[in-house]
Amino acid sequence: MERLTPVHCNGCMNEILVLGGTGKTGRRIVHRLQSAGFPVRVGSRTAPIPFDWTDRATWTPALNGIETVYVSYYPDLAVPDAPDAIGAFTTAAVNAGVSRLVLLSGRGEDEAATCERIVQGAGIDWTVLRCSWFNQNFSEDYLLDAVLAGEVALPVDDVPEPFVDAEDIADVAVAALTQDGHTGQVYELTGPRLLTFADAVAEIAAATGRPVTFVRVPPQDYAAALPPEVAELLMYLFTTVLDGRNAHVTGDVRRVLGREPRDFADYAKATADVW
């Protein structure tokens, strides 16, 4: 990636607000920006200036003095409330003087597409990072416990998915946040190859040297075992979105970074000590 120079603001060095700044993509972005000397404000409920998607009174203080925002919505742009929240946040950001938004989005999701259009219509610089499933779902999120227990049971068939690494997303996000030339771009970020969930779990088993197996479960059994607050979202992601609509790789990581995206096998090897 091109060397980063914190010259974005003619010497005034306004802070970059990274929403979800303690999460899978956000904390990697915060680390990169801080290492390169950019002033960064973490946006999360536990940050020194707290930001809470469910408490709009926190938004204006978090946006005060901010020029550029990485927008990672919680829990997911696919939930029905997301467009309303993204619309209100975008308006608050424009009113606060923000001039650039970089939106983390998902592929093949109607609500995420609506959110993208809201950001694209805000009248300020925007970049959309439309991502496939993250590798780190297996090591930093809801699939970790299943991997540790040795069995990943999901309601998915042999649908291939081009899993993408949060390290690559973070590199692309930092480029879009700090460099010119990414305004008005929709980057579809994927890994370098298609894997089924069974393939991904087999890669994890190979990297750890432990038996970790994949089991397909009927959707109704999977839904019945989920906590109610995440059941609708996960069923939508695993059964509606994971129908093959996203089963193609893109060259957008290479287009932005000038290098290949990280392969799932390399992620699994580097992450084996977590499992």
Ligand X SMILES: NC(=O)c1ccc[n+]([C@@H]2O[C@H](COP(=O)([O-])OP(=O)(O)OC[C@H]3O[C@@H](n4cnc5c(N)ncnc54)[C@H](OP(=O)(O)O)[C@@H]3O)[C@@H](O)[C@H]2O)c1
And the tokens for 100?
């650039």
With respect to ligand X, which residue has the nearer C-beta, 68 or 136? 136
User: Does residue 76 interact with ligand X by CB under 6 A?
Assistant: yes
CB of 104 to ligand X, least distance (A): 5
161 burial via Cβ count (<10 Å: 0-12, 13-18, 19+) = buried
Residue 2 is given by DSSP the state P
Closest CB to ligand X among residues 4, 30:
30
Across-strand partners of 213? Answer: 151
Task: Indicate which single residue of 134, 222, 264, 267 sits in contact with ligand X (rule: CB under 6 A).
Answer: 134
**Taking the complex as a whole, how short is the minimal distance between the CB of residue 89 and ligand X, in angstroms?**
10
**Among residues 200 and 207, whose Cβ is nearest to ligand X?**
200
Residue 22 within binding range of ligand X, rule CB under 6 A: yes
228: tokens are: 């109610």
Q: In angstroms, give the least distance from the CB of 204 to ligand X.
A: 16
| Choice from 14, 16, 25, 268 touching ligand X (CB under 6 A) | 25
Residues 35-54 that bind ligand X (CB under 6 A): 44-46, 51-54
Closest alpha carbon to 128 in 69, 187, 87, 68? 187
Strand partners for 262: none
Element (H, E) at 69: strand 66-71
- 72 lines the binding site for ligand X (CB under 6 A): yes
Q: Is the peptide bond before 75 cis (omega within 30 degrees of 0)?
A: yes
Q: How far is 65 from 17, CA to CA, in rounded Å? A: 10
- Distance, CA of 252 to chain centre: 15
Nearer to ligand X, 38 or 51 (CB): 51
Please, which residue, 13 or 167, has the CB nearer to ligand X?
A: 167
CB-based contacts of 96: which residues, under 8 Å, 6+ apart? 60, 63, 64, 66
Here's the x/- map for ligand X, 84-113, by CB under 6 A: it reads as: --------------------x-x-------
Judged by beta carbon, residue 9 or residue 58, the one nearer ligand X is 58
Rounded to a whole number of angstroms, the minimum distance from the CB of residue 32 to ligand X is 14
Q: Does 232 sit near ligand X (CB under 6 A)?
A: no
Q: What HEC string does 184-221 produce? A: CEEEEECCCCCECHHHHHHHHHHHHCCCCEEEECCHHH
73 binding ligand X? (CB under 6 A)? yes
Among 63, 57, 51, 62, residue whose Cα is nearest residue 22: 51
For ligand X, which is the closer residue by CB, 214 or 220? Answer: 214
Question: Which of 23, 83, 162, 192 is the binder for ligand X (CB under 6 A)?
Answer: 23
Which spans of this chain sit near ligand X (rule: CB under 6 A)? Answer: 20-26, 44-46, 51-54, 72-74, 76-78, 104, 106, 131, 133-134, 137
